[in-house]
Homo-oligomer: A and B are copies of this chain.
Amino acid sequence: MRKPVRIFEVAKEAGVSPGTVSKVLNGTQRMAAATEARVWKAVSKLGYQANLHAQILSTGRSRALGIVILDILNPHFTALVKGSGQVATERGYTVLLADAEENPKREQELIQSLRARTDGLILAGSRLTDQEIACLHSPEQPIVTVGRRIAGVPSVTVDEYTASLQLASYLVGLGCQRILYLAGPPFWVNQERERGYRNALEQAGLTPQVLSLTSPDLLGGEQASALLWTMQPFPDAVICYNDLAAIGLMASLKTLGVRVPQEVAVVAFGNHPLAAHLSPSLTHMEIPSRRLGELAVGLLVGLLEQPQEEPQPVIQYAVLRPRESSRIG
C-alpha cells in the first residue's frame, strides 16, 4: 500500500518549497529555468499526481462538466453524450455523466450530486419543472438545457415547431388525409411538435388528431397499436414523438397484420442508428443529437469562461429523411 506522493515530498526532493512546486506545475509564476527543471525531475521521479480534491477545494473550480440525461437507453441521448465528450476534452474539461432514468426524484438527486462535483451542468431531457430548473441556474454554477426553452436559462434546442410542420406537410403532400400524432411527455419538445403538427394540418384543411404515448419508447409504441386498432376510421399516417415509439409501433402493427406503409405510413422524430436498417426503413425528421451535445458543451464552457456575456439561445434544425415507411403510392 503505497501512499500517494504529496506536494511536500516533491518540494523536498527538488530542494524547494511546496509553493514553488505548485507554481511550476500550474505555470502560475515563472521560475528560474534550473529550478523548474529540478521540480519537473522530482515530479516524474516520484510520480507525483496532485490530489484533485485539495486542488478543487483550494481553487474552487473542478474543470469538470456534468451531464444529466433522461434515459441512457435512448439513442438520442447517447449520441448527444458522444458529441459532448469530444468538445469538452478540447476545451480542457472532463465530462461526468448521469442517467436520470426518467425519474424526476432521481434526477434531482443526481443534479445535486453532480453539481457538487462540477463547474456547470447540462440537462438533456429534464423532467423537472421550469421553476426548478430556473432556480438551479446561477452564474457560478450555470445550467444549460437541451431541448427545453426556459426564460433566463441558456439552452440549445432544435426548431421543433418547424421540423414538425415540415414533417406533417410532407405527409399531406403524399396525400395522407387522416394523420395522427402520437404525443410524448408534455414538455417543451412535445408542445412544439404538437403545435407544428396542428398548424400544418389546419393549413391543409385536415383535422388534427392527437393520442398520447404511455411512454416515449419501444414499449409505448407497442402499446399505442392497441389504441390505433380501435380507431374508426383508421389513420393513414402516424407521426410518432420519437423513433423508438415508431419502431415499437411498426413491430406491433406487423403482428396485427397491418402493412406499413401501404395501409398506414409511420414517421417519427429522432436519429436512431437503425432507422435505415429496419424493414420498412423508417422515415424521420433527423434530430442532430450529436451536434446538440457539442453545442451545449460549447455554450456551457463559454458561460464559465466569459461569465459576463449574455448567451443567446442556440437553435439547430432537423432534416427530413424520407424512407420506406412513408413510401406511398
Tell me the A residues contacting B by CB distance below 8 Å. Answer: 1, 49, 51-54, 56-57, 62, 64, 72-73, 75, 78-79, 81-82, 85, 89, 94-99, 101, 106, 109-110, 112-113, 116-117, 138-140, 218, 247-248, 250-251, 254, 273-274, 276-279
Contact = CB atoms under 8 A, between A and B. Distances in A.
Contacts of A99: 81-82, 85, 97
- Return the 4 tightest CB-CB contacts between A and B, nearest first: A52-B116, A97-B97, A251-B277, A53-B57
A75 B217 CA distance: 14
Contacts of A116: 49, 51-53
Given A274-B247, A274-B274, A278-B278, A78 B72 contact: yes
Contacts of A51: 57, 116
B96 A1 contact: no
| A64, A94, A110 — most chain B CB neighbours (10 Å) | A94
A78 B77 CA distance: 11
A1 B75 CA distance: 37
Contact of A73 (B54, B75, B279): B75
Nearest to A99: B85
Given A56-B53, A99-B97, A139 B1 contact: yes
A94 B99 CA distance: 11
Nearest to A62: B53
Contact of A96 (B85, B97, B101, B274): B97
Q: How many copies does the complex hold?
A: 2
A154 B72 CA distance: 26
A96 B62 CA distance: 15
A101 to B, nearest CB: 7
Contacts of A113: 64, 94
Nearest to A74: B78
Given A78-B78, A254-B279, 17 more contacts: A51-B57, A51-B116, A53-B53, A53-B56, A53-B57, A64-B113, A72-B78, A73-B75, A73-B78, A82-B99, A82-B101, A89-B106, A94-B110, A247-B274, A250-B277, A278-B278, A279-B279
B85 A81 contact: no
A51 B54 CA distance: 12
Contacts of A54: 57
A255 to B, nearest CB: 10
A245 to B, nearest CB: 12
Nearest to A274: B274
A140 B4 CA distance: 11
A138 B53 contact: no
Contacts of A95: 98
Nearest to A139: B1
A250 B64 CA distance: 41
A52 B89 CA distance: 24
A49 B278 CA distance: 50
A288 to B, nearest CB: 15
